[in-house]
Amino acid sequence: MSSYFTDLAQQYIDGEWRPGTGSWDIIDFNPYDGEKLASITIATVDEVDEAYQAAARAQKTWAATNPYARRAVFEKALRIIEDREQEISEVIVAELGGTFLKAGFELHLVKEFLREAIHLALRPQGRIIPSPVDGKENRVYTVPVGVVGVISPFNFPLLLSLKSVAPALALGNGVVLKPHQNTPIVGGSLVAKIFEDAGLPAGLLNVVITDIAEIGDAFIEHPVPKVISFTGSDKVGRHVATVCAANFKRAVLELGGNSAIVVLDDADIDYAVDAAVFSRYVHQGQVCMAANRVLVDRAIADEFTEKFVAKVRSLKVGDPRDPQTVIGPVINSSQADALSGVVEQALAEGGTALVHGTTTDNLVSPSVLTGLPADSELLRQEVFGPIAFLIPFDGEEEAVSIVNDTPYGLSGAVHSGDIERGVNFAKQIDTGMFHVNDGTVHDEPIVPFGGEKASGVGRLNGESMLDAFTSLKWISVQHGRSGFPF
């Protein structure tokens, strides 16, 4: 495992592994024990430019490559991940503080998305569209956009990098990837290594490990990329969208959430408890789809609450390398401090802690809070950590109103003994995704993934990848002579 943090602690530009030329280093720490994993000299604006220019040069030949030949690269990348799955899992645990359960969950999805990328290489098809003009043939071609810039987050960095990188490449584009500073290896250079070993031509995929303190908006302002795919907070996403609009770029934004899981009065309570605990506490709650809010019909609230609290108390907190651990560390100390502040604020506002978590270094144990005033801003914002807000309600109409009372609209779930009652409830929620009798955390390769309101713009997965990473080109052919008015 240590070789990953030594060999891959570099930039990857135009097929070469090389150090950055910036004046400072990004230090990669294990969030559980503080061990220094790697030191990476950051990329400068010049290196961002070199990466984009390399991608632009390589992309023309790649786009003209037979899609069956392109497909072979993704088939090999999948085999590489399958062969190295155990060591990659160990790297995920070390760099993210994710548990082995989480690493397995992430790698399962990574393999599924690579399988979809294999098929995606053959998906673009041309069309011939009728014309009102005699003798005219309208051809519509699906073409690559050219170069895509990808900015990935720290929570599922391998998945959320590959989720944009692989389809963009499969569809004939070049890519420059900027991983999050806290996960430069898993989210960045590991992706480059996988594709390098899979035989991807040099220059097509470049990875720049850097910070906006060094490069400002250069990554998104650069004239080469036509699409920026960003996954992260709505605050940063708003800025990305603004810069992209000013530069006539397409922005695909997968942003934060404030999902709710709703337990109606006819739900299977034990099953709903299991779904709610997983939906809130998977990967320490550092998931955009996580259920910040747990809404329970007042008729069953006492029984649900008792069982929910008991299950939360049973979750093992500690070393993510221990297979029994469910709750590992959050990504860094500022995140841990912010979560402590959320609990303190909730109590100051009159909330009650049914489970009062503690913070030791980056280990934040679970909290369950209830009794917050209905107008509390804590109920409307994303809380990226192991804190659940329990909210009782009286009837479906009130539940719908509470769920929608947030700037976000990413995911959610409802539990009911009547499936169609659950579906009708789901239709009333302003989200891009909603699940009946399940958890809130789901992703599948061919279903549209994305949110409404402040949770993002655009969709990924399946056919949506064509909307994200290709463009349409109309070429008309006039058979015979056309008539002109003068």
Name 75's Cβ contacts closer than 8 Å, sequence gap at least 6: 118
Give how many domains the chain has, as a whole number: 2
* 204 shares a domain with 188: yes
Residue 39, pLDDT score: 97
Model confidence, pTM: 0.97
Q: Which residue has the tokens 């899981």?
A: 261
- 482 located within any domain: no
CB 129, CB 138: distance < 8 Å: yes
Residue 125, pLDDT score: 87
254 catalytic per annotation:
yes
Domain CATH code at residue 274: 3.40.309.10
* 191 shares a domain with 177: yes
* 89 shares a domain with 151: yes
* 334 shares a domain with 251: no
CB 288, CB 410: distance < 8 Å: yes
Give the DSSP letter of residue 233.
-
- 480 located within any domain: no
With vertex at residue 44, the alpha carbon angle to CA 42 and CA 45, rounded to the nearest 5 degrees, is: 150
- Cα maximum dimension of the chain: 83
* 347 shares a domain with 287: yes
User: Where is 391: in which H helix or E strand?
Assistant: strand 387-393
- 479 located within any domain: no
Amino acid 114 reads L
* 302 shares a domain with 211: no
Distance CA 11, CA 46 (A): 13
* 276 shares a domain with 137: no
* 375 shares a domain with 316: yes
pLDDT digits 0-9 by tens, 47-72: 999 999 999 999 999 999 999 999 99
Pairing of strands 174-178, 205-207: parallel
The token duo for 426 is 């789901």
- 308 located within any domain: yes
- The single residue of 254, 306, 397, 444 carrying the catalytic annotation is 254
Task: Identify any residues that bridge with 389 across adjacent strands, giving them in sequence order.
Answer: 293, 369
- The single residue of 106, 288, 382, 396 carrying the catalytic annotation is 288
Q: What backbone phi and psi angles, to 5 degrees, belong to 331? A: -70, -30
The token duo for 293 is 């809010």
Q: Within 121-257, where are the H helices?
A: 157-170, 190-197, 212-215, 218-221, 234-246
Give the DSSP letter of residue 455.
T
Give the closest residue to 186 by CA, choosing from 237, 220, 150, 152.
Answer: 152
The token duo for 157 is 């960095």
Residue 202, pLDDT score: 98
3-state secondary structure of 27: strand
Give the DSSP letter of residue 341.
H
Domain CATH code at residue 86: 3.40.605.10
- 442 located within any domain: no
- 443 located within any domain: no
CB 433, CB 410: distance < 8 Å: yes
Distance CA 121, CA 67 (A): 6
The token duo for 177 is 């990837």
- 485 located within any domain: no
Q: Which residues of the chain have pLDDT under 50?
A: none
Distance of CA 84 to the CA centre of its chain: 23
* 285 shares a domain with 188: no
Task: Identify any residues that bridge with 392 across adjacent strands, giving them in sequence order.
Answer: 296
Distance CA 424, CA 432 (A): 15
116 catalytic per annotation:
no
Q: Where are the beta strands (DSSP E) in 224-282?
A: 227-231, 250-254, 259-263
| Domain that includes residue 330, residue range | 259-436
pLDDT digits 0-9 by tens, 352-377: 999 999 999 999 999 999 999 999 99
CB 254, CB 286: distance < 8 Å: no
* 272 shares a domain with 123: no
- 444 located within any domain: no
The token duo for 112 is 């599924």
The token duo for 388 is 């659940």
* 408 shares a domain with 287: yes
Through-space distance between the first and last CA atoms of the chain, rounded to whole angstroms: 73
* 424 shares a domain with 332: yes
